[in-house]
Amino acid sequence: MTRRVIAQGTFDILHPGHVHYLRDAAALGDELHVIVARRENVTHKRKPVLPDRQRRDMVDALASVTEAHLGHREDIFVPIERIRPDVIVLGHDQHHDADGIREALAARDIDCEVTRASAREPAHEDELLSTGRIIDRILAERGGGGDRNPGSDA
């Protein structure tokens, strides 16, 4: 019997923290399905910089991911009902209330475990494990935007 795991998140500008979370989640089953939040549904923090499909495609390209899906526009539980996971893995620092999710799953007759991934400590002092910190660093080091050559690799 195949054990399905779901992870979910925004995944705006992939970084080592995302990779750790998804590897942690994948280790709990045979298939890892990742639900990538649509920009319009992100309300707990700043909207993603990258487009929905680009973020989904980047997550889908990771070796630990079986398939990445965009979240549903109106009801976050629709893809969960379709995938029928055995486990939902929340990121160690995600804002979600695990007990609230368990209650919502039970109300929809979805029987699955809800757990959290482990935290990942930075491998070195300047490693950035947060999209917000990556964006802050970009703005600090390259802010203003006027000095970037549009055709460059910088």
Q: Is position 95 annotated in a ligand binding site?
A: no
**CB-based burial label for 34 (10 Å; 0-12, 13-18, 19+):** buried
Q: Is position 69 annotated in a ligand binding site?
A: no
Q: Is position 131 annotated in a ligand binding site?
A: no
Q: Is position 93 annotated in a ligand binding site?
A: yes
Q: Is position 33 annotated in a ligand binding site?
A: no
Widest Cα–Cα separation across the chain: 56
Q: Is position 16 annotated in a ligand binding site?
A: yes
Q: Which residues contact 146 (CB under 8 A, 6 or more apart)?
A: none
Q: Is position 12 annotated in a ligand binding site?
A: no
**Residues annotated within a binding site for ATP:** 10-11, 15-18, 93
**Residues annotated within a binding site:** 10-11, 15-18, 93
